[in-house]
């Protein structure tokens, strides 16, 4: 009789332990997946500062880019650029300063690329005609002036901004005639030194904005 009682007590204790263990396990799972633990709401508040910091970081990158571009030279010291098979000289001026640009951020449904941005900057580009001979390009001091808007496309990858495209849209092109800028008279062979082919998401961005692929 005593053995039967002890066995019954043991079975009851085991059942209680199983119930307690199952309850504890469910509580832990509920907390992990955000179902029952109110403390999990910290993930929402943590995301917003991260997004803000990412946006601030991109603006820092754009300011540094503008400042670096404006240090490249002027008419007297413009760097020589090679785009095979041509040579030419080119430099840029950002008339509104390093802080004058607009940024349009857009969230992307991608874990690896959660955010992209389009930056627009007013820009004046000075460049010579294209020459096949390097010496001719070095000796050329006649610059054409393009006035327009530069568009840069960035993607946030692994917490770092990566530029995926750059396009300069010139609204007008002028040449120096008798000491004054005048509309260009001839069709001059040109390139767009700062233009890069946009990446996959850059092409999506263009389609979203109604542009051409």
Summarised one tens digit per residue, pLDDT across range 156-168 is 998 899 999 999 9
Name which residue leads in pLDDT, 22 or 171: 171
Tell whether 88 is covered by a domain: yes
pLDDT for 72 equals 83
Confidence of residue 191 (pLDDT cuts 50, 70, 90): low
Distance of alpha carbon 191 from alpha carbon 132, whole angstroms:
13
**Given CA atoms 181, 72, 140, 127 in this order, what sign does their dihedral have?**
negative
Tell whether 46 is covered by a domain: no
Residue 201 and residue 154 share a domain: yes
Residue 70 and residue 27 share a domain: no
Give the count of domains, the chain: 2
Residue 146 and residue 83 share a domain: yes
Residue 210 zone, left/alpha/beta (φ > 0; ψ -120 to 50; rest)? left
Residue 138 and residue 77 share a domain: yes
Residue 104 and residue 14 share a domain: no
Residue 77 and residue 119 share a domain: yes
Residue 21 and residue 89 share a domain: no
Residue 146 and residue 56 share a domain: yes
Residue 68 and residue 1 share a domain: no
Tell whether 22 is covered by a domain: yes
**Does the pLDDT value for residue 123 go beyond 80?**
yes
Tell whether 41 is covered by a domain: no
Tell whether 137 is covered by a domain: yes
Residue 131 and residue 58 share a domain: yes
Mean per-residue pLDDT, 77-84 = 91
Distance of alpha carbon 118 from alpha carbon 22, whole angstroms:
51
Buried b (16+ CB within 10 A) or exposed e, 63-100: eebbeebeeeeeeeebeebeeeebbbbbbbebeeebee
**Does the pLDDT value for residue 16 go beyond 90?**
no
Residue 193 and residue 112 share a domain: yes
Tell whether 42 is covered by a domain: no
Query: pTM for the whole thing?
Result: 0.65
Residue 27 and residue 123 share a domain: no
Domain that holds residue 61: 52-208
Mean per-residue pLDDT, 86-96 = 95
């Amino acid at each position: 009789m005593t053995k039967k009682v002890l066995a019954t007590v043991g079975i009851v204790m085991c059942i209680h332990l199983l119930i307690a263990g199952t309850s504890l396990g469910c509580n832990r799972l509920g907390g992990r997946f955000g179902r029952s633990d109110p403390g999990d709401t910290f993930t929402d508040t943590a995301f917003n500062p991260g997004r803000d910091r990412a946006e601030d970081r991109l603006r820092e990158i754009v300011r540094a880019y503008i400042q670096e571009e404006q240090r490249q030279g002027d008419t007297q010291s413009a760097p020589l650029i090679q785009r095979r098979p041509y040579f030419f000289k080119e430099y840029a001026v950002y008339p509104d300063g390093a802080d004058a640009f607009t940024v349009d951020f857009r969230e992307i449904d991608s874990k690896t690329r959660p955010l992209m941005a389009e930056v627009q900057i007013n820009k004046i580009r000075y460049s010579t005609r294209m020459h096949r001979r390097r010496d001719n390009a070095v000796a050329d001091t006649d610059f054409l002036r393009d006035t327009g808007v530069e568009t840069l496309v960035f993607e946030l990858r692994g917490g770092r901004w990566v530029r995926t495209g750059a396009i300069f849209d010139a609204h007008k092109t002028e040449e120096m005639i008798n000491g004054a800028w005048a509309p260009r008279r001839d069709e001059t062979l040109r390139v767009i030194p700062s233009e890069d082919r946009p990446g996959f998401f850059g092409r999506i961005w263009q389609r979203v904005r109604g542009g051409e692929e």
